Amino acid sequence: MMMSRGAGRGQEPGGVEHSSLLGDEPVGGDGFVSATHPIHGVPEGRTPTAARRRWGSLVAVALVAGVVGGGIGLGGGMLLMDSGSPESVLSQRDPVTGAQVNAQAGTVQYAASKTSASTVDIAVRSGRSGAEGTGVILTPDGYVLTNNHVVEGGTQISVTLPDGTSKSAEVVGTSPSYDLAVIKLDGASGLTPAELGKSSALVVGQQVVAIGSPLGLEGTVTSGIVSALNRTVEAEGDNGQSIIYNGIQTDASINSGNSGGPLVNLDGQVIGINSTILSSGKNTGNIGLGFAIPIDTASRVADELINKGVATKPQLGVTGTDSRSGAAMVSQVVPGSGAERAGLKPGDTITKVNGRTVSSFADLVAQVTANAPGSTITVTVADAQGDNPRDVQVTLGSQEDTSPQTTGQTDSDYERLDPFGFPFGSIPGGR
């Protein structure tokens, strides 16, 4: 499936227009998603405060309308009382199950209540522009996990805690390839860390809850299900840099400002970090297709950022392109890499990783980077025609993550970088 990489490219065939990382192109049958915009909370040039003021006004308008309506109803009621009614004819009852009062484990209410105590609002300023996102508290002393695109380029970071207090923060480290970052709050103590779960235990159809600050509305809770796993998501940020990752797909409503916030199971365990949405046409909001970075990957990266200030990513050691058979064709093998030691050669076609079908070279990137550096993966390799498959074991190398998995050059270059710092090679059709 041909994918356009740039945001704001105009109308695509089929009425799809690129608009917003939380992304821009339909999901194909191969599970490949092209997305083109990080979930920034506030449009460039508008400060987070202005955004809150704007939405506050909208809420106030609704509240004023409610007051007017209530006033009319109250007036009618008072007239009725004045005409001789000694008591109200209406009554209210306590909830039957009590679930509305006391959250029970395994419910959306429980998950929201538990995780909201570990979720923060992040406002970032850079010059006269600003953005807003969400973060997950990792430690009592103020380490917070969020998206790299939330804090990227920011000069001032302000974090609003669940109790409403505000603290300044500094970036500890970033992982551009995974769109993750860790910040540290100044003078924080006694915070409630989020409970991290395991994304490897997820199943399609299970309920999940998203918490964040969409459009500046702090502490917003939405719910849905895991609608797909192992989606290859290609997202392009405002700076033109692309990111490829293996994502969790959900229909829980997430919008601009949810970036970096938690996706949790009904036990209140964080199983993903919200990062991307798919939009169509002129609709830049949620259409039921959002994507989160699996917590199995995010927790490894966060640990490295906290301990060393820099994260690592796995190194396969090949360059390549999409094959005609719908897999990944190897163009070059890097000397001394795990791929060379495993016997991979130019012209080979990689059709599977750990038993999962590879549908494109970008899909190969996503599947490889879902593994930790130093781990051993099973790669199914065929000839140029996709025939005579064989399984080989490849031990992945390690490289510091200082640049995105895919750093698009220009469309005329038709070249990408793999997650290991080596060119992917020519992409047919300039995708």
Cβ atoms of 174 and 313 closer than 8 Å = no
**For position 19, what pLDDT does the model report?**
30
pLDDT at 280: 67
- Name residues whose C-beta falls within 8 Å of residue 337's C-beta, 6 or more positions apart in sequence: 315, 316, 317, 318, 397
* H, E, C per residue of the chain: CCCCCCCCCCEECCCEECCCCCCCCCCCCCCEEECCCCCCCCCCCCCHHHHHHHHHHHHHHHHHHHHHHHHHHHHHHHHHHHCCCCCCCCCCCCCCCCCCCCCCCCCHHHHHHHHHCCEEEEEEEECCEEEEEEEEECCCCCEEEECHHHHCCCCEEEEECCCCCEEEEEEEEEEHHHCEEEEEECCCCCCCCCEECCHHHCCCCCEEEEEECHHHCCCEEEEEEEEEEEEEEEEECCCCCEEEEEEEEECCCCCCCCCCCEEECCCCEEEEEEEEECCECCECCCCCCEEEEEHHHHHHHHHHHHHHCCCEEEECCEEEEECCCCCEEEEEECCCCHHHHCCCCCCCEEEEECCEECCCHHHHHHHHHCCCCCCEEEEEEECCCCCCCEEEEEECEEEECCCCCECCCCCCCCEEECCCCCEEEECHHHC
**Ranges 22-26, 243-247, 286-290: which has the least confidence:** 22-26
Residue 179 a catalytic site member = yes
Structure token pair of residue 214: 């969409």
Q: What is residue 419's predicted lDDT score, i.e. its pLDDT?
A: 31
pLDDT number for residue 408: 32
Report the pLDDT value the prediction gives residue 283, as an integer from 0 to 100. Answer: 60
Q: Which of 34, 199, 259, 323 is catalytic?
A: 259
Note whether 97 and 78 are within 8 A (CB).
Answer: no
Write out pLDDT tens, residues 270-302.
Answer: 999 999 887 666 666 667 789 999 999 999 999
Domain ranges of the chain: 14-64+103-310, 312-430
* pLDDT tens sequence across 108-150: 999 999 999 999 999 998 887 888 899 999 999 999 999 999 9
CATH homologous superfamily for 312-430?
PDZ domain (2.30.42.10)
Q: Which residue type is seen at 342?
A: A
Whether residue 84 has pLDDT greater than 60: no
Could you tell me the pLDDT band of residue 257, with boundaries at 50, 70 and 90? Answer: confident
| Cα–Cα distance for residue pair 301/193, rounded to 1 Å | 17
* Annotated catalytic residue 149: yes
- The one catalytic residue in 37, 40, 175, 179 is 179
For the stretch 25-64, pLDDT in tens is 334 444 445 444 444 444 444 444 444 434 433 333 323 3
d(CA 60, CA 423): 53
pTM score of the predicted model? 0.73
Q: What is the CATH number of domain 14-64+103-310?
A: 2.40.10.120
Beta pairing class for 242-250 and 220-236: antiparallel
Catalytic residue among 19, 149, 227, 251: 149
* Most confident among 84-93, 95-104, 224-233, 413-422 (mean pLDDT): 224-233
Q: What is the largest CA-CA distance in the chain?
A: 95
Residue 292: name the closest of 267, 332, 262, 335 by CA.
262
